[in-house]
Structures are given as structure tokens and as C-alpha cells.
Chains A and B, each alone.
Chain A
Amino acid sequence: MGEVAPENEARRLAAQARDRIRFEEEALELADQVYRVARRLVRSREEAEDLVQETYARAFRSWQSYTLGTNLRAWLLRILTNLNIDRGRRQQRAPEVTPLEEGDYFLANKMAEAAGEQALDQERVVERLSQNAVVDALSALPHDFRDVVVLVDIGEFSYADAAQILDIPIGTVMSRLHRGRRLLKQRLAEDAAV
């Protein structure tokens, strides 16, 4: 202690400052993608904005716990999902999940009947369901299911990354995805039936 040559210390600090700036710039480049995921995890634009700001405040504070060269987007989203959980949303009771084998196929069948099998292409599906229907159906999903669907389908994370972000086993990611999508389809089918 006290033996560090001042020039070495200066060099170390300069290197650290450079790493920090690089970290901050890389993190900011991902802000749009982080926001997009946040926007579907919470209900309002304001909440999403708050959540993203809290995430970046924490990320910039604890940047040294990020390992350079690892998946920064996953690291940021892990902070974000933890903050979202900390907001006490887990206190809300998730609705009972019903087994939905029939409902699962209901929408597929309904659309096939309505449009003919050949017309089950993306444009027709997109035409048939309003953009809001999907947004509403997503926001109505129980949190546990919404998290995985949003991370995998909107965030385009692998199962492994989603598992790491949410700190749950991969098998749980897969089963929640499956059930979450099922619930989503059920909601959409209900909407389409109205």
C-alpha cells in the first residue's frame, strides 16, 4: 500500500475511464431495444420510460460488475426485469391458468375456416387481428408468462439467455413460453370471436 507509482495509478485510472465510457456508449446504443422490451412488460409508456431510466441509472452505477465481451443486452435486461419485480408487481395475484388444449387450436381453426388454409399467411393474420389486440392480450398475461414471451418473441433472446435473465431453469422458460402463448392465443381467439 502506498507503494504504487503515481504514473501507474494514473494509467490505471485512465484505462478504467476508457472502459467506462465504452461501456456507457455500448449500453446507450441498446436503449431502443431495451425500451421495446420494457414497453411490453409494463402497461404504460410512462412506466416503461421510468423503468428504462432506473435500469440505466443502476447499470451506470454498477458497470464494473459487467464482464466485457459478454451479452450486454441480456445484462441490462436482467437489471430491468429485477427492477420490475422489485416494484412489487409480484404481489398481484396471477389469474388461474386453465388447461387449454381445445382453445389452443381454436384460433388456428377459426382462421383457417374464415380465410381458407392457403390464406393463412402473415398478411392475412395481421389484417384480421388489430395491433391493439395483441398488445392487449400480452398485457393481460400473468407476469411470469409475459416475461418469457416478451423476452423470447420481442427481445429475440434464446431460451438460455431468457433463463439467465429471469434466473429460472431453461425447462421453466420452455413451459412458461408454451403456456404463455397458449393463453395469448386464447385471448386473441376470444377477441376475434366478439
Chain B
Amino acid sequence: MSLGPCEKCEELLQGYLDRELSEAEVGEAEAHLDGCDYCRRRYKFEANLRMYVRTSSVERMPAGLMEKLAQLRGDAA
């Protein structure tokens, strides 16, 4: 197995995917991704997973809920 877990970048990868890194850290993460097949594969996979979780919840509000919420307005004066 040429591809093995890369402990070092596990934490960096999470922050990178979640867009939580500083500019310097982003540079560090990208430099690492450039040189590490394993992490690049992980990155693609993790990015897909996030996208997938996001698109699992595109469900819109049930009809009528907006009206119910609007009726709650201004009742506490």
C-alpha cells in the first residue's frame, strides 16, 4: 500500500475543507495536497461527502408553515 493515513494533515484538511484556515495555513495545506496523493484523494472524497450532506437537505418548508409563523408575529406585546 503506497497510500497510507497521513496524520499530519488530518487536522489541516478539516479546516481547509471547512474554509476555516488562515491564509498562511491555506498555503501550507495546498502545498501539502500538491505533494501527497493520499491526501489529495482524501480531499476529493471529503469534499464530496460534505457536498452530499449539504444536498441531502434541500427540502423546503412544508406548505402552510410560513403562514403559521407569520401568525406568531406581534402577539407578545
Q: Which residues of A contact B (CB under 8 A)?
A: 20, 24, 28, 31-32, 35-37, 39-40, 45, 49, 52-53, 56-57, 60-61, 101, 104-105, 107-108, 111-112, 117, 120-122, 125-126, 129, 131, 134-135, 138, 149-150, 152-154, 156, 158-159, 174, 177-178, 181, 184-185
Contacts and interface: CB of A to CB of B under 8 A. Distances in A.
9 contacts: A39-B57, A49-B65, A108-B42, A120-B41, A120-B44, A120-B45, A120-B48, A126-B55, A129-B52
B35 interface: no
B49 interface: yes
Contacts of B68: 53
B23 interface: no
A125 B49 contact: yes
Contacts of A178: 10, 14
B56 A134 contact: yes
Interface string B46-77: 11111111111111111001101110111110
Nearest to A39: B59
Size category of the B interface is 35 or more
A60 B75 contact: yes
A28 B66 contact: yes
A56 B69 contact: yes
B18 interface: yes
B61 A31 contact: yes
Given A49-B65, A108-B41, A174-B14, A56 B48 contact: no
Main secondary structure of the interface of B (DSSP, over half): helix
Contacts of A37: 57
Given A134-B52, A152-B18, A181-B49, A35 B65 contact: yes
Given A108-B41, A158-B20, A178-B14, A134 B72 contact: no
B20 A36 contact: no
Contacts of B54: 153-154, 156
Contacts of A125: 45, 48-49, 52
B26 to A, nearest CB: 15
B49 A159 contact: no
Given A108-B41, A108-B45, A60 B73 contact: yes
Which residue among B44, B56, B70, B75 has the maximum number of chain A CB atoms within 10 Å of its CB?
B56
A35 B61 contact: yes
